[in-house]
């Protein structure tokens, strides 16, 4: 085993790294999918498995380094708080992403449809205004009163 490690140490470490990361993320997905949880809680659950990959066989020396890595790479949402590091699982499942995209698409289509409907109503209002004659008695009289205009008409025979 030592000879194999000496021949290609990066390959061995990267294999453990990938396995550690994948198993940690899987645990978060199963146990803490929709919650914000202290990183130490997840790690303690992780090491309870007798067959877990040890962190000291990866490139990370501390849990903090690993948690920061997860945040930098967008694999989980990471927050530093006075009580330690907190992580939240970011759901990257294709099914969830598809549902989210479809929901956003429906919302956009609803907005577009509503805007189209409002434009049609505005066109109808403008068309109706154009079709009105300026001497429509009730409307014309109201407009004159609104502006404070008094109209006096004298008819002479002549």
pLDDT value for 138: 60
Q: Which long-range contacts (CB under 8 A, 24 or more apart) does 101-107 make?
A: none
Report pLDDT digits (tens) over 10-63.
555 555 668 778 888 888 888 887 888 888 888 888 777 777 766 666 667 787
Cβ neighbours of residue 84 closer than 8 Å, sequence gap 6 or more: 38, 39, 40
- At 143, is the pLDDT very low, low, confident or very high (cuts 50, 70, 90)? low
Cβ neighbours of residue 79 closer than 8 Å, sequence gap 6 or more: 36, 85, 86, 87, 88
Backbone Cα Rg of the chain:
35
Residue with the two structure tokens 């109808």? 124
Q: What is the DSSP string of 55-111?
A: GGGSS-SSHHHHHHHHHHTTSEEEEEETTEEEEEE----HHHHHHHHHHHHHHHHHH
* Selected residue with higher pLDDT from 77 and 157: 77
Q: State the Cα–Cα distance between residues 85 and 64, nearest whole angstrom.
A: 7
On whether the pTM is more than 0.75, the answer is: no
């Amino acid at each position: 085993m030592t000879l194999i490690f000496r021949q290609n140490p990066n390959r061995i470490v990267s294999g453990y790294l990938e396995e550690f990361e994948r198993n940690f993320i899987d645990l978060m997905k199963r146990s803490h999918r929709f919650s914000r949880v202290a990183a130490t809680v997840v790690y303690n659950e992780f090491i309870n498995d007798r067959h877990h990959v040890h962190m000291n066989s990866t490139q990370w020396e501390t849990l903090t380094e690993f948690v920061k890595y997860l945040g930098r790479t967008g694999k989980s949402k990471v927050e530093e708080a006075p009580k330690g590091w907190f992580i939240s699982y970011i759901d990257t499942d294709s099914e969830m992403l598809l549902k989210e995209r479809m929901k956003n698409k429906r919302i956009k289509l609803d907005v577009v449809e509503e805007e189209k409907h409002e434009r049609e109503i505005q066109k109808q209002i403008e068309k109706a205004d154009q079709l009105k004659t300026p001497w429509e008695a009730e409307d014309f009289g109201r407009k004159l009163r609104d502006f404070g205009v008094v109209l006096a008409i004298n008819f002479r025979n002549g």
